[in-house]
Amino acid sequence: MELYNLKPPKGSKKNRKRIGRGHGSYGKTAGRGHKGQKSRSGYKSRLGFEGGQMPLYRRVPKRGFTNVFASKPTEVNLAKLVNRKDVKEFNPEVMLEKKIVKNAPNGIKVIGNCKVDRAITVKVHKISKGAKEQIEKAGGKVEVIS
């Protein structure tokens, strides 16, 4: 016999009616409280709604703007390129093929400032100053394509 086999004798456990414990013991409002908008069926509130009070996102002052036409290139860390010992020349086609980047609709930018231990050739749309210095210091070449 194990602990998980033990069960109370048949008929000893019975669901009892909770007596003298208020309305919550037998249902009624189902935890919605009394009256009001939230107690009704079909109630749905939009995101950020504060019961008619001016919502926080409208009370806070706005600053700046976002340029919706800005194209941000896909960023690749230089360490990812250095770790791939099987490739000597990196261009967008190779990076997509080797799954270094998933997709690059607005070009590729190499960033980062890690040590480059071998000469590699990088052909990308943009590159950071630190990454370019490290590649050229190791004897590699950087080509910016348009």
3-state percent breakdown (helix, strand, coil) of the chain, nearest 5: 25, 15, 65
pLDDT of residue 23: 66
Report pLDDT digits (tens) over 49-102. Answer: 998 999 999 999 999 999 999 999 999 999 999 999 999 999 999 999 999 999
Report pLDDT digits (tens) over 133-142. Answer: 999 999 999 9
* pLDDT at residue 103 tops 70: yes
Taken in order of first residue, the domains within the chain and their CATH numbers are 74-144 (3.100.10.10)
**What does the block give as tokens for 60?**
């806070």
* pLDDT at residue 28 tops 90: no
pLDDT band at 24 (very low <50, low <70, confident <90, very high): low
Q: What are phi and psi of 127, to 5 degrees?
A: -150, 145
